[in-house]
Amino acid sequence: MKPLRFRLLSILLATLLAGCGNDAPKQDPAPAAAAMEHIEYLSTTIGQRLAGSDHAAAARDYIQAHFLRLGLLTTLQTFTFGGTGADHSANVIAVKPGVSPQEILVGAHYDSVDVGSGASDNASGVGLLLACAAVLAKVEVPYTIRFVAFGAEEPGMLGSSYYVSQMTEAEIAHTVGMVNLDTVVGGDRIYVYGGLEAAGWLREAALAIARQAGISLDTSPGLNPEIPAGTTGDWSDHAPFKYAGVPYLYLEATNWEIGNFDGFLQTVDHGEIWHTDKDTLEFFATTYPGRIEAQLGDFTQILTGLLLTLEVPQAARSTISTKAQTSVPRFRQRNGMPFE
């Protein structure tokens, strides 16, 4: 991107993210602070959000109400799961029209496991989603943005798989990319992943924005021979879109240089935090004071910057309409553990 464009972006972000002067009307909290408020409500007030539970339904309703307050066209996409189809969940979908009718989808799952309170996994992704939606709802964006809070990711990416199964070929071709926000706080470092070669253009765009902003953003180093550098495994909501031929971007906080070099161990000091009783705001505040706030600040700047300046490079345009693969791996594992 041209330096002038980044200077203009910096001015716009400074206005949107920092608020106005003392004489201005009261502004919304800065996006990182707003994201933190959402995380606290989802993980502390609601607590564990097992797919199909009343607590997951409460999270769904909270997300839907937030999108509606922003004035976004909001719908629920309901689905059933389980052996008898007796369990119910829903994807919460909100649309922000852009200059182009082509769409980029930004998604995060709102369910959790039955250990801890799901603060990092994945109240953090939802908090980032909602905070950035609040910023972008107010301004012109180059592409139409479809914000989706996925239900039932933990039992096997059920919400995102159902969403993709309902897309027509035309809708898939109309989607320039998918951004997945999963466990965006808590790890030792913040990371971005994408596809191979031209399909990794979203990753490269995010890395460029981070460099311009002076943010330390890493990508997977390729130390694990099964996971090429810059990519990640098929264990989150990006995978169904990837196999449908949609380029993906995945934001995460973890550590790829320890354990089996697959990003499963998030921290040097405590190993994995997700899916353990350590996944609470209290643990992070006590053990890593300031870490969550700093990572939310970095990711809100990267994500809003990306969505405000999004431009599909010519080399990547052919990958968007590539015929989808015919089979999607239903289950993958990370370090011997079932994916979320």
Tens digit of each residue's pLDDT (9 = 90 or more) over 176-204 = 999 999 999 999 999 999 999 999 999 99
Q: From CA 239, how far away is CA 161, in angstroms rounded? A: 8
Phi/psi at 66 (5° precision): -65, -45
- Looking at every residue in the chain, the average pLDDT score rounds to 88
Structural contact between residues 178 and 137, judged by C-beta atoms closer than 8 angstroms: no
Q: Quote the pLDDT of residue 320.
A: 56
β 143-150/100-109 pair status: parallel
Phi/psi at 334 (5° precision): -125, 115
Q: What is the dihedral angle through the alpha carbons of 281, 36, 192, 167, rounded to the nearest 10 degrees? A: 110
Statement: residue 324 has pLDDT above 60:
no
Q: Which residues pair with 334 in a beta bridge?
A: 337
Within-domain flag for 154: yes
Within-domain flag for 164: yes
Within-domain flag for 222: yes
Structural contact between residues 210 and 278, judged by C-beta atoms closer than 8 angstroms: no
Radius of gyration, CA atoms only, the chain: 18
Within-domain flag for 142: yes
Statement: residue 128 has pLDDT above 60:
yes
Q: Quote the pLDDT of residue 319.
A: 55
Model confidence pLDDT, tens digit, residues 226-239: 999 999 999 999 99
Q: From CA 79, how far away is CA 151, in angstroms rounded? A: 9
Q: Which of 175, 190, 171 is nearest to 145 (CA)?
A: 175
Written as six digits, the tokens of 321 are 């309409």
Within-domain flag for 76: yes
Q: Which residues pair with 249 in a beta bridge?
A: 179, 194
Q: Which of 339, 321, 320, 273 is nearest to 120 (CA)?
A: 273
Within-domain flag for 182: yes
Within-domain flag for 22: no
Written as six digits, the tokens of 329 are 């791996």
Active-site residue (options: 40, 103, 153, 311) = 153
How crowded is the C-beta side of 266, counted as CA atoms within 13 Å?
23
Categorize the per-residue pLDDT at 328 as very low, low, confident or very high, splitting at 50, 70 and 90: very low
Question: How many DSSP H helices and E strands does the chain contain?
Answer: 11, 9
Q: From CA 165, how far away is CA 240, in angstroms rounded? A: 9
Statement: residue 143 has pLDDT above 70:
yes
Statement: residue 161 has pLDDT above 70:
yes
- CA–chain centroid gap for 284, Å, is 20
Within-domain flag for 336: no
- CATH number of the domain that 293 lies in? 3.40.630.10
The question of whether 272 is a catalytic residue gets the answer no
Structural contact between residues 195 and 179, judged by C-beta atoms closer than 8 angstroms: no
Model confidence pLDDT, tens digit, residues 77-116: 999 998 777 799 999 999 999 999 999 999 999 999 999 9
Statement: residue 300 has pLDDT above 50:
yes
Structural domain range at position 281: 56-313
Quote the number of domains for the chain: 1
Average pLDDT estimate for 9-18: 47
Average pLDDT estimate for 136-161: 98
Written as six digits, the tokens of 148 are 């989706």
Q: For residue 273, which amino acid is it?
A: I
With 0-12 / 13-18 / 19 or more C-beta atoms within 10 angstroms meaning exposed / middle / buried, residue 39 is buried
Categorize the per-residue pLDDT at 11 as very low, low, confident or very high, splitting at 50, 70 and 90: very low
Statement: residue 7 has pLDDT above 60:
no
The lowest-confidence range among 43-52, 148-157, 288-297, 316-325 is 316-325
